[in-house]
Amino acid sequence: MLPVVDWGLRDYRDSLSAMHGLVADRRAGRIPDTLVLVEHPPVVTIGVEGDDGAARASGLPVVQVERGGRATYHAPGQLVGYPIVDLEPRGRDVRRFVTEVEAALVESIAPFGVVGGHVPGRRGVWVGGARKIASIGIAVEGWVTYHGFALNVDLDLAPFDRFHPCGFEEPVMTSLAREAGRPVSVAEVKPLVVRAFREIGGRAHRPVPAPAV
């Protein structure tokens, strides 16, 4: 069973340092695949695809990180997950792993009557093809994944308007509470996310066939 570590509310930089430690432990075989769940105080993170300057001019705290993607916002009321997963026994298939993370989040929000899905060419989970409810940005070191997803549960979305989240100039961000039409707590969502990710964990040691040459 996939172990889950709940950090509660934790400073982003402190979490980043701890996450790097978990990656080192996973690469050394000291820990199994692990899912970290956390909420962060308000902060904007910028991935390897960069930012057009709007995030740094937003007045929000900004941290440059090594995950995929561009700029996004974290705050309490958003459930952030960091899957520390060895992709070696999964065929080193990063794209498939990202697809499975998306699928797990789609499954997690379904009990609230919210239908999520994938939009071709756009990472993350979308509602109605135009409203982004979860962002995904993965990094890989020695075939161990880190960073992960940010699911907007019930938070103030206004700070997203102060920069261009994921590079989009138009407002695209939504939340589970907005889509469900009622307040939703992070505590309600956590067990659903854990269950969905444990199903992914159960497939972790099934090798993925190599592509035909």
Tens digits of per-residue pLDDT, 179-195? 999 999 999 999 999 99
Give residue 138's pLDDT. 95
Give residue 155's pLDDT. 97
- Going through the chain in order, the beta strands assigned E by DSSP cover 4-9, 34-39, 43-46, 62-64, 71-74, 78-84, 116-119, 122-127, 131-141, 144-152
Active-site annotation holder among 16, 109, 150, 166:
166
Q: Is 166 designated active site? A: yes
Nearest alpha-carbon partner for 21 in 128, 144, 183, 174: 144
Q: Which domains does the chain have, with CATH numbers?
A: 4-202 (3.30.930.10)
Establish how many alpha carbons lie within 13 A of residue 86's alpha carbon, considering only the half-sphere containing its beta carbon: 17
User: Does 206 score more than 50 pLDDT?
Assistant: no
Q: Which residues of 139-167 are buried (b: 16+ CB within 10 A; e: fewer)?
A: bbeeebbbbbbbbbbbbebebbeebbbbb
Q: Write out the two tokens for 134.
A: 């979860």
| Candidate from 69-78, 119-128, 194-203 with smallest mean pLDDT | 194-203
What is the distance between the alpha carbons of residues 194 and 183, in angstroms, rounded to a whole number?
20
User: What value does the mean pLDDT of the chain take?
Assistant: 89
Q: What pTM value is reported for the model?
A: 0.90
Q: Write out the two tokens for 27.
A: 């690469």
Q: Write out the two tokens for 174.
A: 């939504």
